[in-house]
Amino acid sequence: MKTITEVARSLGVSRQTLYNAIDKADNVDIESLTKGRRGKARLFDEESISIVKELLSKHCQSNVNEKQIDNGGIDNDIEEKQGKSEKKQIEDLRRDLAEAEERIKTLTAKLEQVEEDNRILIRTNATNAVTIQKLQERDQLKLADGAEDQRAGWIRRTLRRITGKGKDQKE
């Protein structure tokens, strides 16, 4: 058993639409379809629900026919407005697409610049690594030769020679 709200939701219409469909039916009323109550809510069984579905389909069909008769030229106006609305939507979508394509171009250019900068940094780092390696090799050779030790004391040796003090004096 379902309430009228649950039936309306399952059929995809409002409660008022169901009440209107039942009200317009000649041989059926809401009381005859109600099989029980839960508080103030009316409960419908499967048979009542199938009757409501039939009434709703007849009600919707009659509303469509009435609108077509009553509207006359209005249907054409609606179709024209819908056409204009669709054209406007298409124009909006095209404009959005053009903006998106422009944004993609901008981002692609930025990406290419970043990639180029990255390549430059990689080359610079490689060059720096080679330079560091060569400097380390040179320092290793100097230490092995002892050339660094000989140059380290040249100031001291020169001062001793000038002043005449130290081991370097011969007498």
**Would you list the domain boundaries of the chain?**
2-71, 73-145
pLDDT of residue 35: 87
pLDDT of residue 110: 95
pLDDT of residue 171: 44
Strands of the 2-3 sheet, one edge to the other: 2-3, 41-44, 36-38
CA angle 100–103–109, rounded 5-degree value:
145
**CA–CA separation, 36 vs 1, rounded Å?**
9
pLDDT of residue 160: 84
pLDDT of residue 106: 95
**CA–CA separation, 116 vs 88, rounded Å?**
42
Nearest CA among 32, 28, 31, 40 for reference residue 3? 40
Q: What is the mean pLDDT of each run of 10 residues along the chain (171 residues)?
A: 87 87 82 86 87 84 63 62 82 92 95 95 94 86 63 77 70 44
Instruction: Describe the crossing of helices 74-145 and 46-71 by its angle, rounded to 10 degrees.
Output: 110
pLDDT of residue 34: 86
